[in-house]
Amino acid sequence: MIAAVAAVIAQVAEAEILPRFRCLSAGQIREKSPGQLVTDADVAAEAALGPLLCALLPGAVVGEEAVAANPALLTALERPGPVWVIDPVDGTANFARGDSRFAVIVALVVDQVTRMGWIYDPLTQRTVHAELGGGAWEGVNRLTIGKAKPLCDMKGSIRRGAPLTRRIAWGGRRGSAAHDYLDLAFGRLDFAVYHDLHPWDHAAGALIHAEAGGWPGLVGGASYQPRSLPDATLLLAPDRESWDQLAPLLG
């Protein structure tokens, strides 16, 4: 299943995403809601991924673009059975302006639990995946979150101007949760903080982070769950001690 899904994602990215990168006309980029872009690549990739994934394992599909048109689709994540969660182009604003920080995210949620997750960078053709209880991997290389650092040496994905940024080595956003999760897995980031949570952004990444040995959790103490959580804050840290140190500083 892991390899088959990875192959499907790469196939769709090759057919629907890469040919449109830096080739979009003005009419192929639009707002689906104020400040939220969608492109023809997002729509075409999601439309292609859903049937191919369901051919591997029949189930519901919760895709970012389909949910934008029909929010009721999110209820599939509250019901038993398999659900494919798709972000066809994570980092759409980056993609639309020709920035290389975009990726495809797919998660498999079964009975409300994320069982598998994939992040694919179409430009480098690199896939990171995880399976619940099976670790996080890039190819044959098992990924392990690096050791915790002193607060002043940490780099984090956090809103620019947040008070915590004055106490760490670097803090900011680069426009793609997928690339944040890759940077966490490869040690280029130490922590990340997200608000207004959507499952297509975080279900796969939170699993990858946890399986690589990191500590993801909602501020307030609850475990992360793969659903829309508009009032929640997700903090991902290298270990529980770092998480406990960072959480009170988020303000």
Amino acid in the structure at residue 217: G
pLDDT score of 221: 84
Q: Which fold has domain 151-249?
A: D-Maltodextrin-Binding Protein; domain 2 (3.40.190)
Q: Which residues contact 185 (CB under 8 A, 6 or more apart)?
A: 128, 136, 138, 143, 145, 208, 209, 212
Output the pTM of the full model.
0.97
For domain 2-142, is the CATH number 3.30.70.20?
A: no
Hey, where are the domains in the chain?
2-142, 151-249
Q: Which residues contact 161 (CB under 8 A, 6 or more apart)?
A: none
Tens digit of pLDDT at every position of the chain (251 positions): 999 999 999 999 999 999 999 999 999 999 988 888 999 999 999 999 999 999 999 999 999 999 999 999 999 999 999 999 999 999 999 999 999 999 999 999 999 999 999 999 999 999 999 999 999 999 999 999 988 999 999 999 999 889 999 999 999 999 999 999 999 999 999 999 999 999 999 999 999 999 999 999 999 989 999 999 999 999 999 999 999 999 999 97
- In whole angstroms, give the CA distance from residue 120 to residue 114: 17
